[in-house]
């Protein structure tokens, strides 16, 4: 399931985050690549141990905590600390799949990567190229969102970033482990939750149908959740 999460950061939030990271020291993006991805990846990355990356990552996590849509779509159990990358001068990332297990270097923190996320930090008209292309069951899906908006997609998907031929594409990316491992089960829960919210808006939270549907949602979550 591909889910766009609008306005994770507002304009002020994007500006605050960019003020932290733009002047930092960037390194070769392959510091976090597996052997296969390293063959396809050409970009720069902010070192995850840098003070700027950690402070900026905390801002992203705080913003995600305010997004009901993110929680409904992801059902997050553990989130890998957000990372930051940028592409310019023809840099790209060829077709690849993300590692199933992500380990934070120098720690015992590890997650099963169920979902990948890209939070765009530059408006689309500021650069050419740089589209995130995700191989979905309905074919390739091309994503290029406004600054502050995020795309959430299965980490098992083949995906790539097209060459940036003008300007700079700056983004935040991370992985998360969901309470519900199976993408189809997460999709069912997300669609059911959306339907419940629609009925509740029309009939009120105390409506008998809303109460019954909410019970079904939680019983399915109880059946499928790891946590």
Write out pLDDT tens, residues 161-203. Answer: 999 999 999 999 999 999 999 999 999 999 999 999 999 999 9
Q: Judge if 31 and 129 occupy the same domain.
A: yes
Closest CA to 121 of 168, 66, 79, 166: 168
Q: How many structural domains is the chain composed of?
A: 2
**C-alpha dihedral sign at 67, 72, 73, 77:** positive
Q: Judge if 51 and 101 occupy the same domain.
A: yes
Q: Judge if 189 and 98 occupy the same domain.
A: no
- Give the pLDDT band of residue 92 (cuts 50, 70, 90): very high
- Give the pLDDT band of residue 118 (cuts 50, 70, 90): very high
Does pLDDT of 126 surpass 90? yes
Higher pLDDT residue, 104 or 177?
177
Q: How far apart are CA 98 and CA 155, in angstroms?
A: 6
Dump pLDDT digits (tens) for 143-172.
999 999 999 999 999 999 999 999 999 999
Question: Would you tell me how many other CB atoms lie within 10 Å of the CB of residue 74?
Answer: 25
DSSP 25: P
Domain interval for residue 24: 3-178
Question: Across residues 35-47, what is the average pLDDT?
Answer: 81
Q: Judge if 143 and 54 occupy the same domain.
A: yes
Q: How far apart are CA 5 and CA 185, in angstroms?
A: 19
pLDDT reported for residue 38? 64
Q: Judge if 216 and 144 occupy the same domain.
A: no
Q: Judge if 48 and 153 occupy the same domain.
A: yes
Q: How far apart are CA 59 and CA 20, in angstroms?
A: 10
pLDDT reported for residue 68? 96
The answer to whether residues 128 and 163 touch, using CB atoms and an 8 Å cutoff, is: no
Q: Judge if 207 and 95 occupy the same domain.
A: no
CATH number at residue 96: 2.60.120.620
CB-count burial class (<10 Å; 0-12, 13-18, 19+) for 57: buried
Q: Judge if 171 and 194 occupy the same domain.
A: no
Q: Judge if 15 and 109 occupy the same domain.
A: yes
Q: Judge if 52 and 156 occupy the same domain.
A: yes
Q: Judge if 83 and 143 occupy the same domain.
A: yes
CATH number at residue 199: 4.10.860
Does pLDDT of 36 surpass 70? no
Q: Judge if 108 and 85 occupy the same domain.
A: yes
């Amino acid at each position: 399931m591909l889910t766009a999460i609008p306005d994770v950061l507002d304009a002020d939030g994007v500006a605050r985050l960019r003020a932290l990271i733009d002047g930092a020291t960037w390194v070769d993006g392959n510091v976090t690549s597996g052997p296969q991805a390293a063959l396809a990846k050409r970009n720069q990355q902010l070192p995850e141990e840098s003070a700027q990356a950690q402070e900026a990552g905390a801002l992203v996590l705080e913003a995600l905590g305010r997004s009901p849509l993110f929680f409904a779509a992801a059902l997050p159990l553990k989130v890998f600390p957000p990372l930051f990358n940028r592409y310019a001068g023809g840099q790209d990332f060829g077709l690849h799949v993300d590692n199933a297990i992500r380990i934070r270097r120098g720690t015992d923190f590890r997650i099963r990567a169920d979902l990948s996320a890209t939070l765009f930090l530059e408006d689309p008209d500021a650069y050419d190229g740089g589209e995130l292309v995700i191989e979905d069951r309905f074919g390739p899906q091309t994503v290029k969102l406004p600054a502050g908006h995020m795309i959430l997609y299965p980490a098992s998907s083949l995906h790539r970033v097209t060459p940036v031929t003008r300007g700079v594409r700056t983004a935040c990316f991370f992985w998360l482990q969901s309470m519900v491992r199976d993408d189809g089960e997460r999709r069912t829960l997300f669609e059911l939750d959306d339907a419940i919210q629609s009925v509740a808006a029309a009939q009120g939270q105390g409506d008998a149908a809303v109460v019954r549907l909410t019970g079904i949602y939680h019983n399915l979550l109880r059946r499928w959740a790891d946590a």
